[in-house]
Amino acid sequence: MPTESAAPQNQGDELALLGLMQLVSPALPIGAFAFSQGLESAFELDWVRDEASLTEWLSGVLEDGLTRCELPVLARLHTALAQGDAATVAEWDQWLAATRETAELAAEDSRLGASLKRLLGSLDLLPSEDLLTPLLPTQAGYVTLFAYTAHTRGVSERQTLLGFAWAWLENQLAVACKALPLGHTAAQRVIEELRPALVTAVDQALSLDDEELGPVLPGLALASALHETQYSRLFRS
């Protein structure tokens, strides 16, 4: 005879996983779809033109950008938030802002952060401003708000980094599908090729010391700067 299914033993872990899935979903209404992080300019410059060159570009941004910047700082923010260390949270939030090499990249981080904060407020997932301000900077960037959301949802540090990397990759491929003659099947092939690289990136990010951090992406910075005056644009960065 069939037996009653046992109650979930790890309900907290399951809720945390679902919370992470919600946070990295393309349907999250924070406007990430409007930004390409310089990728649209790379299309215009013919630096990225097909599946192969797109994979190469994304691999480079992941290795020399996210692995050395957003991901290790995300881990540090996650720890600082768990410890209630507002000074460290503010320090890394400011450090991230200083790494944004163009007006568009800076605006993307601040606007997505503000949008995520408004969304959390509308879902009653933020404490009052009096309680929130001592822990988070008033105008915290997107990475900081992402870390805060993951922490409050009980998402582990490693899963937080994997989720952030996955959200970045999905958004970049969504940009490519809109602006390149790249089909969704080709986009899935890129995902299959880069999935192991996401895991490697998280491993490397978690091993870096503070003095080793900092993006090395002159091509992306140049593409982003040129995008500011690009004649025809679909995206805001």
For 44-74, what is each residue's pLDDT tens digit?
999 999 999 999 999 999 999 999 999 999 9
Assign 162 a pLDDT band (cuts: 50, 70, 90): very high
What value does the mean pLDDT take over residues 168-192?
92
CA 52 from centre of chain: 23
pLDDT of 6 reads: 46
- Residues above pLDDT 70, as percent of the chain: 91
Range list of β-strands (E), the chain: none
Lowest mean pLDDT among 162-166, 197-201, 202-206, 228-232: 228-232
Give the separation between CA 22 and CA 74, rounded to whole angstroms: 18
pLDDT of 133 reads: 60
Contacts with 32 (C-beta within 8 Å, 6 or more apart), sequence order: 26, 112, 167, 171
Contact 229, 41 (CB under 8 A): no
Contact 97, 89 (CB under 8 A): no
What value does the mean pLDDT take over residues 165-182?
92
Contact 68, 115 (CB under 8 A): no
DSSP state of 4: P
pLDDT of 134 reads: 74
Q: What number of H helices and E strands is found in the chain?
A: 11, 0
pLDDT in tens, 6-39: 445 577 788 888 888 888 888 888 888 888 888 9
pLDDT of 4 reads: 46
Please give the residue that has the higher pLDDT: either 229 or 5: 229
Give the separation between CA 8 and CA 185, rounded to whole angstroms: 36
pLDDT of 2 reads: 45
- Name the nearest CA neighbour of 208 among 161, 175, 146: 161
Contact 42, 223 (CB under 8 A): yes
Whether residue 125 is predicted with pLDDT greater than 60 in this model: the reply is: yes
Lowest mean pLDDT among 109-118, 187-196, 205-214: 109-118
pLDDT of 129 reads: 60
Give the separation between CA 204 and CA 202, rounded to whole angstroms: 5
What value does the mean pLDDT take over residues 159-177?
94
pLDDT of 13 reads: 84
CATH 1.10.4190.10 for the 37-227 domain, yes or no: yes
